[in-house]
Structure 1
């Protein structure tokens, strides 16, 4: 394979990784409006990056057999999880309690990471069919989504500092809108 073909494939994978990571950025932007410590932001980014490695890897391994069925199911589940997280954040912004029902810690972090990486499972299924370079693909997906998540969380944290208590409602609205977008593709 010549240099042009390899660089073209890498550019294509980067664009795909960036597109997949934009949901992590958007959701990170919303979730960043919850009061998070820098250590939590680092863990969230790493966890989402790992999920963006695991999910397409699993998808690539399964391949063509389940792609049609799981593609729409994965999108539906991801949208539903984001809807629930968004509603929970909006409702908790009206309460005096500072502890949200679902936080990006422990199982909440797993749910959060799963919701933004389900679409990479579907992409992995497609890439498995076409024989994409597995290691390069999943590493690129993981790194790009981790960086975009950190960017979204840090911007969300800054907005949270500016907006105070209204920021959680705004963050929930962002998650709600993104969940609706997944459930009702236009």
Structure 2
């Protein structure tokens, strides 16, 4: 693999990581409105970042096992998963009345981080099918989700609700585009 291919893969994975992190960002915006202390903001971001490393890692491992058995249709499976995930994110961003029922403290923080990172499991599954670089992918997923969670929480303290659902819709749109790219080679 040449340097330009490596750079291209890193850019692609970074865009996917940002798209996944937009979900954490938009949820962080909403959660930031409950006026958390900065120490809580720090721990929430770290926890969500850790879960965005663990979940795609599990997905990548399972995706690689699937690709061994279904190599002929692996790209279609991965593309379809990204399409479904992106569509789900876009649709859920326009549903009104979504409230976080779990407080981001203790066990509630674990439940919250797990729910925010479930989509990264699916993306990890797709990446495992395509054989993406595991270390680069999980680092980028964890880093961007952590940073975007912090930004969302801190911004949520300032601006209330003017961007929340649009951030998740943008992230879903990016995943939809990647799913289409995988299904329709052009």
Tell me the TM-score normalised to structure 1 length: 0.69
Tell me, yes or no, if structure 1 residue 60 matches structure 2 residue 43: no
CA deviation profile, 1:129-181 (whole Å, cap 9, x unmatched): 1111111110011001111111000000123xxxxxxx5xx59xx57xx6xxx
Cα drift, residue 3 of structure 1: 1.1
* Aligned-partner Cα distance in 2 for 1:102–1:124: 25
* Aligned-partner Cα distance in 1 for 2:148–2:48: 10
Tell me, yes or no, if structure 1 residue 108 matches structure 2 residue 108: yes
Partner in structure 2 of residue 37 of structure 1: 37
Give 3-state SS (helix, strand or coil) of 1:36's partner.
coil
Partner in structure 1 of residue 51 of structure 2: 51
Q: CA distance change for structure 1 residues 127 and 158 in 2, over 3 Å: closer, same or farther?
A: same
* Aligned-partner Cα distance in 1 for 2:143–2:40: 18
* Aligned-partner Cα distance in 2 for 1:110–1:35: 19
CA deviation profile, 1:43-94 (whole Å, cap 9, x unmatched): 01111100110000000111164996xx679x98xx99xx8xx6555xxxxx
* Aligned-partner Cα distance in 2 for 1:33–1:143: 23
Matches within 5 A, 1:154-173: 154-159=154-159
Q: CA distance change for structure 1 residues 126 and 87 in 2, over 3 Å: closer, same or farther?
A: closer
Partner in structure 2 of residue 129 of structure 1: 129
Cα drift, residue 2 of structure 1: 1.5
* Aligned-partner Cα distance in 1 for 2:28–2:99: 16
Cα drift, residue 102 of structure 1: 2.5
Cα drift, residue 103 of structure 1: 1.0
Q: CA distance change for structure 1 residues 145 and 39 in 2, over 3 Å: closer, same or farther?
A: same
Q: CA distance change for structure 1 residues 35 and 8 in 2, over 3 Å: closer, same or farther?
A: same
CA deviation profile, 1:13-61 (whole Å, cap 9, x unmatched): 1011111111111111111101200000000111110011000000011
Tell me the TM-score normalised to structure 2 length: 0.69
Q: CA distance change for structure 1 residues 40 and 6 in 2, over 3 Å: closer, same or farther?
A: same
Q: CA RMSD in A?
A: 3.5
Give 3-state SS (helix, strand or coil) of 1:109's partner.
helix
Q: CA distance change for structure 1 residues 138 and 38 in 2, over 3 Å: closer, same or farther?
A: same
Range that drifts further, 119-128 or 55-64: 55-64
